[in-house]
Structure 1
Amino acid sequence: MAFVAIEGIDGSGKSTVISLLEKKLPRVYATREPSSGPIGRLIKEWALKGGSVDPHVDALLFAADRIEHYKREIEPRVREGYIVISERYIESSIAYQGAAGVSREFVKYINSLVPKPDLTIILDVDPSIAEARIRQRGGAEKYEYLSFLRKVREIYLARAAEEGYPVIDASRRPEEVAADVAELIKRVVRFK
């Protein structure tokens, strides 16, 4: 049916909003990156805990996981008629690895084997709010510190302007954010 990517800095509320969307929209298949596959598990167990010293390695791991994730999970579910909503996709790599010094061209090239989503939505929140949310949920990973989140947010907002992605104010109550996201999805998806 359709493929939607929900993007935003850590602590922007992506997981919460997607959980609410599962209740608001029909035939939603929610997924996330890193995936639950073997490469995704490696990323969670090693790379996000500070594993690599070169951000290009992280970018390559995320791209490999994304290709596998798309082929194994996203593409089949779209063909089965689901609205697939992924927490993170290519724009996450552009933003996060970009903030770590990897060129946008490199990230785009290594992700060229997967298609763009039908809709990419950016959940935007001030990094200080995001950082407080991260602390509240218990601990930070490799990319979850304020100065880095500021860089990532700048890239997300620049990409939204360049690509015409809708940007949703995620500092509000999750139900309000989810309602706005659901409306955007309804404009793109034809419900039967």
Structure 2
Amino acid sequence: MNIKTIILDFIRIINHNSWVFLVFTMVLFLQCKKEDNYLYEGRFETDFVIPAGLSTILTHYITIRNVYTDASRNATNNGQDVQNLKSVQASFGRMFTLEAGNDLDFIQELSVTLISRTNPNLKIEMYYSEFVPFTVDNEIRLQSGSLELKEILKDDYVDIEIRMNLRNFVPNTIKTRLNMSYIVL
């Protein structure tokens, strides 16, 4: 073999692999679809207290009643009827302390469930955080659940259930705020 044949073989291999790469890239590109644009985003929040002394052994539930979602007004302000929305999905959510010096690093796992006021059997997990980092400080950013919220957010008031598993005892009573947002498609 001379150097010329080696170079020609190398060029053929590169050209062959380039075609494979090009076809692979085109297939991936054609599989992509445009994301649905949302019509509007709604936000609501509620304050609650995490009592001191909760243990690491039990799962703890905090229920907050009659949380105002402002869903009807948000829909009307955006030219929609809350009863006829196509889809409502959870968006950004976070839980944070209201007083300086309080951290939430004692929480190991957290979920936020919306409960319908008109049908208490209708419960949907809106947010969760399965493994809260040890270095969370005073704010936990929550992962959005993938379930449809349309039926629950037809009403302006919901109940919220916060489920927590702890890695440490709660050191003192902590005033906390839960910020929630949703998008309407």
TM over 0.5: no
**TM-score, normalised via structure 1 length:** 0.26
- TM-score when scaled to structure 2? 0.27
Rg larger in structure:
2
Question: Larger % of helix: which?
Answer: 1
